[in-house]
Every structure is written in C-alpha cells, then in structure tokens.
Structure 1
C-alpha cells in the first residue's frame, strides 16, 4: 500500500506542473462571492499592521522624552497612546479574524456543494473505479485542508505580511543603510522556504492518499460489520486499519519534522542578521545621526520583525497542504460528466425495445460483457432474463437507462436509437426495483415519493403503498409514513424495504420497468402479497425481469437464457422446456431441489 501511495503521489506531482500559484489563484477565485467580507478583513489586518510601527515609534518617543528630561509633559499622553494602540490592534484582529473565517467557510461550502453537484453527474464507471472511503475523504478531509489554507494562511499572509512591510518601511525611514544590510538575508530565507514548500506539497499529497486509505478500510468494515463478525475477520480488519493509519502517521511525522526544522532555521538566520545589524549599528559612522530614541526604535522594529517573518515561514506548510488538497479537488471538479448526446425530448415512451447485434465491454475491462445480442420486445410485454451469475443479465438491463453508453444503432426504444433520447427524459420513463434495495436516511414518505415525485399528495402515496401491499405494515408503525427508515433502511426488515421500493416504482408509473430479483428478499407470505402487487405494476408496461428462481417468470412473454454474454436460448416457458436445452436443465435442477414458488401471472 505504501508503494502504491508513493507512486500515486509522484503521479499527482508530475501532473501538476508545480504550478502551486495557479492552483491557489483558482482557489481564491471562490472568494469573489465574499469580496465584502474579504475587504473588511483586509481593513482589519491593515489596522493591526499599522500598530506595529506605531509601537516602535512610541518607543522612540518614550526614550527621547526620558533622555531629554521631559517626562512630566508626556506622563498622561504616553499611557493613553499605549491603550489606543492596543485597542486598535484588538479591533483589527477581530475584523480580520472573524470576516476571514466567514470567507473561508463560504469557500468550503461552495467547494463541497460544487463537488457534490459534480458527483451526481459523473458516469457510473467512476463510482465503480474509486472506493467510497476515498471519495468521502475528498469531500471531507481535503476541503478541511482548504479551510486552513484560507483562514490561517491568508490571515498570516495579510496580517504578518503587512506588519513586515510596515516595519521595514519604518526602518528604511529611520536608517536606510542599516535596513539594506538587514534585507540581505531575505534571499537566504527565500531559499529555505522554497525547498520546504516542495517537500510540504509532496508530503501533503501523501497524507491525503493515506487518509483516503484509512477511510476506505473504516467504511468497508462498518458496512460489512456482520460479515466481519461471522467470518472472524476482526483481526484482519484491525491489521488493515493499523497499516493504513500507520502510513498516515508516518507521513504526518515527516511533515512535522520538516516544519520543526524549518522554523528554527529561519529563526537562526534572523538572529544572525540581527547580530550583524547591531554590530554595524554600534559603529559611530553609521549611527552618528541617530538619537537614542531613533536607535532604540530601529532595533525594536528589527526585533519585532522576527515574529511575523517566522509565522510567514511557518504558514508555508498550511499553504502547501491547501494547495495539495485544492489540486485533488480541482482534479475531481474537472472530470468529464456523464455524456448526454441525445437531442430528442419525449414525454412518455410506448416501451418497445430492440437489441440489434449489441456488444458491450465495460471501460477498462479486458473481457467483453455482451456479444452480439439480438432481441425484440414489444411494448407492454415481459422479458425474463435467466442464467448463472455473471452471465450478463444485469448488464443488459443496466444499458437501457444508459448507466453505460452503447454504440449507436445497437439498442433501440420505440424505433429510435437510445442515444438519441435526452438522458433525463429517457430515465423518467423507466422504473427500477433492485435486489439490493436502496433507501435513503429519511422517512417512508420521502423514500416512496422520491426525487421529482416528492410533491405527490399523501393520498396518492398511500394508494401506491397499498398497491405494493406495504400500507398494512406502515399503518402499524408509530409515525406511519413519517417513520424514519435509517441509513439504507436498516430499521426495516428486508421484505418491508422491498415493498417500499416497489411502491416507489408504482408511484412513478413509468412505461418501462426493470425488476432485478424483486422478490428475493421476501418470506413466503410477503412474496405472495408482492407478486400480486407486481401483477398490477407490470400490467401494460414493458417489463424486464432478471430472475434466478424460474418459478417466478414462467408466464413471461419471452424468456432469454444468457450465458457468457450471449443469448443461447429464447422463447416462452413451454417452448424452452420442449427444446430440452439449457433452460430445461436449469428448470429441472431447481424444481428437483426446491418446492415450487408462486408464479407471476402476466395479464
């Protein structure tokens, strides 16, 4: 895993032409909507920065007053000036910090919503190519790093940067020759910061990859906790998580070591510069025109430069974390969305489907999933797909809503190539009931009247629930339709979840229906009720039913046996039995092993 992350890190760094400035400027583009807050923040930091040279100037005044013996005249003025400087610093700190935090949170909100908006538009192949934990890390961890690069980094860059400019300006005003000597160390500091920047960026990218590995393992263990417990995978999962967390820890420690070396090194360079500065300042030829107050004020200003310059170098690690995270985020935002080549808008399809020598291969796969599929299904009829697992049944069904694209002139609906329909219109004409029911963490009502059905009135929702034989158990729940189902419906039984999914399909009233083992999660009593509901649901709809239990599809208009991506037999139940081929063999195997189940009567 470590080698994989290192390779991935190097790939990311090679793709980004070390144009951290461009990446950061693109990130700052998200600040435009909060320009007023940014302006107020800058004003605050200007006030704060102006108080630093003012404090040095006050020191000059105090020393000159004391040396000239004019203490009485300034006895009230000096304390008031000190109070005034710190009040102004406090106001500047509040304005700068609070409004910069508003800017940063607005940016992160915009980034997260942009990422989620992009997420729901990405093709299905993307979801299959990246672990869920890695994707969640982009939405959470990476965006958190961006907060630091805006709040802390910009705060320090503005506040401490303006402070450095103010103090250097004051020093130049006091003695330009000594100031130039001090500025000679700036290129050396710049070299240290430049080297540290590259290392910070590389380590930040590794930390992101390692954090993705941590969330991957944790996500899988949480989702599969029952399998982990039953099959004794506890120690295995602990070891996986330990390795992922250890890789993250190692990268974090390398980051901290670089940061810890960077700060004292810069401090030493500044101390060295101060020592040389004082040595020259004590020379009579250089300081002859300076009063004691000028001398003290100059050294005070030079000494005050240490803290902001140290913080400016320290913020570099935060800035590089933000740049690395921003690169990951923008790489995601720049991904190609699901392509919609269709131009034809349609209100309601009839549902006639035709496969014409259709072949299909998943992106990145070596093996062809479907080979030369030729089949015709009239509107309102039922097609049952049977065969062993992995034979291509689900692939045939998933191509109808264009979860994956097929070539032109291979798959037709109502005599028109599927690619010609607008994607949204096509999918509005299709209802889907999966074997693995997907329910969202909301109420039963939210899950039945989902998506663009959400404004459906309650009576219509209840009718759909009744048609799916779900209303009886819904009524028995304390909150009825407003009962929360939990994450993925965990608070309901498998049969209850399945009936809610069928109610959702009934409510949609689409002309094309895809059933993927729609009764597999039900007990015998529930199955009888559901099959009665499916009769109503399938009536006058083009139905594609994927089935393992042949007893549920005996009355389908067409039964197609799929094997290794090819249709090896097709016909009605009686025709296929008469052939005494693959279907008859499957039928004999099942009925010799299991008692007959209730069949779906197709009207």
Structure 2
C-alpha cells in the first residue's frame, strides 16, 4: 500500500466510531431514496390501476410509510451534515497540528529556503480542502455506489432495453470526465501555489510596512502585489475553465439521458411494451441515477482539491529534519560549559564556498570570549553551530567533552542562552515575553531577571507595568527596550553557556552601558560568547578571537591584540577614527 495513502487514511483512526455512524446514515439515506419511487410505483400501479375496494386506506398507509421514511431520511442527513462535518474538522485540526509540530522540527536550513506565506497556506487553506474530502469523500462514494447499483437494478427490472440505452451514455461520460478531471488537477495545483505566493507577498509587505512607508514605496508594493494577484487570477481562470467544462458537460449528459428516456419510453408506451406507471417510476429512478453522477462530479472536485492539498502537506511531512537526535542521544546534567571546536568546517549548500574551514578553538569553563571580524566572515555561523541550528559539515564540536551530536537537542539547547541581533518579541505582555525564558517562572523571578537586564525601570513606567501589551513584535517599545527584554529572557533561563549576537547593537549609549554592566556580572562562572561589531563593547573580554575569511587569524586580550598591531588593531583604529 502506498505510504501516502496509508498516511491519508490514518487520520480516520481516532474517529472510527463517528465514521462508521456517518457511513451507516449514508447507507440508510441511499436505501430510502431508492425505496420512495417504489412506494410511488406501488400506489400508481398496484392501487390505482388495480382499483381495489380499500384503495384509499392503502394510499393513506403507504403515505404514512413514506412520511416515516422521509423523517428517518432527514434525521440521517442532518447527522451526516453536522457530525460528518465535525469529523472532517477534527481530522483537519489533527493534520494542522502534525504539520505545525513538524515545522518546528525542521532546521534553520529549511527556513532559509522557504517563504512564510507559502508555509502558512499549507497549514490553513490546504488543510481546509482536506477537511471537505475527509468528510464527503467516503460518504459520496458510498451513497453514489448504493444509489447507482440500486437504481440500475430497479431500471433493468422495469425495462431492459430502455436501461441499456441509458447506459450507452456512461462510457462517453467516463472518458469526458477523466480528461477534464486531469486538467483540473494540474490547474488546482498551480492555483494553490499562486495563493501561497500571494500570502508570502502580503506577509513580506506587512512585516516591513515601516520600511515601505519610510521610503514612500507603497506604489512599488502595490505593483508587486498586483503581479502575484494577476498570476493567481490566471491560474484560477484555467482552473475554472476546466471545472466548467467538467461540471456543465456532465450536466448536459444527464439531461440527454432524461430526454432519451422520455423519447424511447414514450415510444415503448405507444408499442404497449411499457405502461405509464412504469415510465413514471423509470423517470424517478433516472433522477436517482443522475444524482450519484452529480455527487461524483462534486467528489471529483473535492478529490482534486484534497489530493493536491495532501500532496503539498506530504511534501513537507516527508522532509526529514536534517538535524535530529541520534538513536542513543544523552541528556545533560550539571553542565560546566567547556566548548571545543575541532577542525570544524561549514557551508550552507554543497555548491557554496565554505563559510568556516578547519576551525579549532577551545573555550574554557566560565571564559568570556568575544568574536570579532568584518561582516560575513562567519561569526554568527560559528556560534549557531553550538546549539545545532546548523550542522557542521566536517569536524566535531564538544560540550564538556561530549560531541553535541550525541546530546539530545532539547537538552543541548536548554543549556544555551542566546540573545540575537534581530530581536523577536511575541504578541502579548512584557511579563509573557520575559517568561518565555522559563515558562514556570514566578512574577518575582521575572522582575529579578528584568532588573539584571536593567529593564525594570522602564517597565514599571509603562501604562500597566509588566502586564502592558507590547503589540505585534513589540512595536510599542523602542529598539533598546526590546533588546533589554530579550536579554532579560536569557537571564531568566540562567543557562551555563550564553551567546550574545550583537546583543547591544540596538541600544543607545546609556542603555548599552547599563546592559554592559549586566553582561559583566553574568560572565561570572559562566561561559559567555559575544559576537561584537563595536569593538569597544568587548575590551574587557578575557579572550578576543579575530575571524577572517581564512579562519581564526588572531587570539588574545584587547591589549595583546593592540600590541600585535594586526587585523584587530586595524579594525579597532578604524572604528576609533569614525567616532572622532
């Protein structure tokens, strides 16, 4: 059995009871639909034409039976409509949860290649299409099959020749449906990709709305959006064209079948091989025969949308995270914080140049090490390899003598605190964002962490203090305030290894000094790695590592490197001149 099909049907497993009840109701609905014309035939043929003495009582009795059947039919249809849709919605929710969980397993390398809008489309629009397929798919097939077979049996018992005439249309309909069904599939896949592109463009523009407005480039963004929007319209045009031919073509075939029945049925009545009551029943059954065809038309649309969505879903789910725990990954306890690089090389892609090559470095427990160098030499990349945000292509990285590949990701990352250059705060309150460092932290611990990050004073001046809502990505705060909240998060986490990636880059001079004091305190008995662009911020580092395109060029204290009069001294003097 195809692995994708196995995965598809696996989502029914938690709801099998509801599924079987839904299918039972579908069976009852189909049978009642077939029985009603037979009840009408009984009245018209057996009662009215027979002209029996108790005809009126028989009509009333059959009427009561039909009312009861309609009541059961309505109840079952309501169950299918409500509970069936709820089953589909719950399965959709399960799939969305699985996809979201899988997103979080994928490494930075995956997200480097993806657009957020496309990923959002897969988790929203695509899963909605699958919900409809999960609910209506089996139900439509079951109802269509039962009605079709049942109607055929009834029709062939009424008049064989007339039934064969009807069925002559079916092979032509099948070929027609197959051809346009295939075209619909291609068009729908393209359409889903295009709506993903629109979402990506909207997400990109709205995330950078302040830049857009500051450069008065609203017109440029409108043109970019219009381009993606027009591509979507073009894809929908092809989709609707195929869907229209498919749907209306099949409707035309069903109308031709009805006309053929009336013409040839009328001729049969003239030749006395069919009576009027049988023709009436035949026409009613043709309606039942056509209804499954219309259901199958609807199912074909749902199927194409659902299969396309499921293919996009599985395209992500089948991606194995390139960074994951080994089979016998260990959990760390009592981490000291010794970090060692042994001949480490890294490149982002196979056909890219090495960002780092044969880097060897031993960072002792509690050491305060700064990484400096020009942009693009791999300072951030080097530090990103320690928590395994990226995987080194060659060499080993050890934490307390243990290869980080042998340590569980959760255990490894829980012992490393990171303050990134690009601060990200979540929508919510100040307290919520600091608490992100340790979810079970008390209010007192949050306040203490904020004080250590020199954030407490500005927080208590906010309208609601620690309960102030900071808006999407912290838009209600200044750059320096956002940076200090992100630093407070790491203080709360209190890990043995801390990485600061340009941590003070967004701070004014006063804030920088305040945070610098906190950093100095934090370095006590802790391994601290600082990536710095402004060299004045790392003068007190116990060791400064100078990176160039050739790897580690120089190492030493600020004074030692100035005396060396090499790359570091040149960088420092250039920055000193710029300040003057």
Same fold (TM over 0.5): yes
Aligned position for 2:312: 328
Q: Distance in 1 between matches of 2:402 and 2:59?
A: 93
Q: Which of 288, 297, 301 is the matching residue for 2:285?
A: 301
1:66 aligns with 2:48: yes
1:207 aligns with 2:194: no
Q: Distance in 1 between matches of 2:51 and 2:356?
A: 99
SS of the equivalent of 1:185 reads helix
Q: Which of 5, 18, 22 is the matching residue for 1:41?
A: 22
Aligned position for 2:362: 376
1:586 aligns with 2:561: no
Say if 1:360 and 1:406, in contact at 8 Å, map to a contact too: yes
1:115 aligns with 2:99: yes
CA offset at residue 276 of structure 1?
4.0
Once the two structures are superposed, the pairs formed by residues 47-62 of structure 1 within 5 Å of their partners are 47-62=28-43
Aligned position for 2:385: 399
Q: Distance in 2 between matches of 1:495 and 1:278?
A: 82
1:477 aligns with 2:462: yes
Q: Distance in 1 between matches of 2:3 and 2:294?
A: 25
1:127 aligns with 2:108: no
SS of the equivalent of 2:12 reads helix
Q: Aligned pair in 2 of structure 1 residues 26, 427: CA closer, same or farther (>3 Å)?
A: closer
Q: Which of 415, 429, 435 is the matching residue for 1:449?
A: 435
CA offset at residue 384 of structure 1?
0.8
After superposition, the CA RMSD in angstroms is 2.4
Q: Distance in 1 between matches of 2:334 and 2:153?
A: 73
SS of the equivalent of 2:124 reads helix
Structure 1 portions without partners, runs of 5+: 1-18, 596-603
Once the two structures are superposed, the pairs formed by residues 513-552 of structure 1 within 5 Å of their partners are 513-552=498-537
Q: Distance in 1 between matches of 2:354 and 2:73?
A: 69
Q: Distance in 1 between matches of 2:5 and 2:300?
A: 13
Say if 1:59 and 1:296, in contact at 8 Å, map to a contact too: no
CA offset at residue 25 of structure 1?
6.0
**Per-residue CA distance 1:550-603 (angstroms, 9 max, x = gap):** 1110111111221225222221111111121221111111112226xxxxxxxx
Q: Aligned pair in 2 of structure 1 residues 379, 154: CA closer, same or farther (>3 Å)?
A: same
SS of the equivalent of 1:424 reads helix
Q: Distance in 1 between matches of 2:140 and 2:15?
A: 19
Q: Distance in 2 between matches of 1:303 and 1:212?
A: 41
Say if 2:345 and 2:395, in contact at 8 Å, map to a contact too: no
Q: Distance in 2 between matches of 1:574 and 1:286?
A: 115
CA offset at residue 288 of structure 1?
5.5
CA offset at residue 114 of structure 1?
0.2
**Per-residue CA distance 1:216-262 (angstroms, 9 max, x = gap):** 11111001111112223222211111111111111112111112111
1:367 aligns with 2:348: no
1:411 aligns with 2:393: no
Aligned position for 2:406: 420
Aligned position for 2:417: 431
Say if 1:42 and 1:158, in contact at 8 Å, map to a contact too: yes
Aligned position for 2:134: 150
1:577 aligns with 2:558: no
User: Relative to structure 2, which stretch is displaced further, 568-577 or 417-426?
Assistant: 417-426
Q: Distance in 2 between matches of 1:355 and 1:91?
A: 69
Say if 1:125 and 1:363, in contact at 8 Å, map to a contact too: no
1:163 aligns with 2:147: yes
User: Relative to structure 2, which stretch is displaced further, 72-81 or 91-100?
Assistant: 72-81
Aligned position for 1:141: 125
Q: Which of 255, 260, 277 is the matching residue for 2:244?
A: 260
Aligned position for 1:188: 172
CA offset at residue 365 of structure 1?
4.8
Once the two structures are superposed, the pairs formed by residues 548-559 of structure 1 within 5 Å of their partners are 548-559=533-544
Q: TM-score, normalised by structure 2?
A: 0.93
SS of the equivalent of 2:11 reads helix
Say if 1:281 and 1:287, in contact at 8 Å, map to a contact too: no
**Per-residue CA distance 1:263-306 (angstroms, 9 max, x = gap):** 23223333333444445445659985755423321232123322
Q: Distance in 1 between matches of 2:156 and 2:556?
A: 94
Q: Which of 62, 72, 86 is the matching residue for 2:70?
A: 86
SS of the equivalent of 2:99 reads helix
SS of the equivalent of 1:593 reads helix
1:28 aligns with 2:46: no
Q: Distance in 2 between matches of 1:88 and 1:354?
A: 74
**Per-residue CA distance 1:117-167 (angstroms, 9 max, x = gap):** 111111210011111111111111111221232334444334444333332
SS of the equivalent of 1:305 reads helix
Q: TM-score, normalised by structure 1?
A: 0.89
Once the two structures are superposed, the pairs formed by residues 215-294 of structure 1 within 5 Å of their partners are 215-282=199-266, 291-294=275-278
Say if 1:434 and 1:517, in contact at 8 Å, map to a contact too: yes
CA offset at residue 403 of structure 1?
0.9
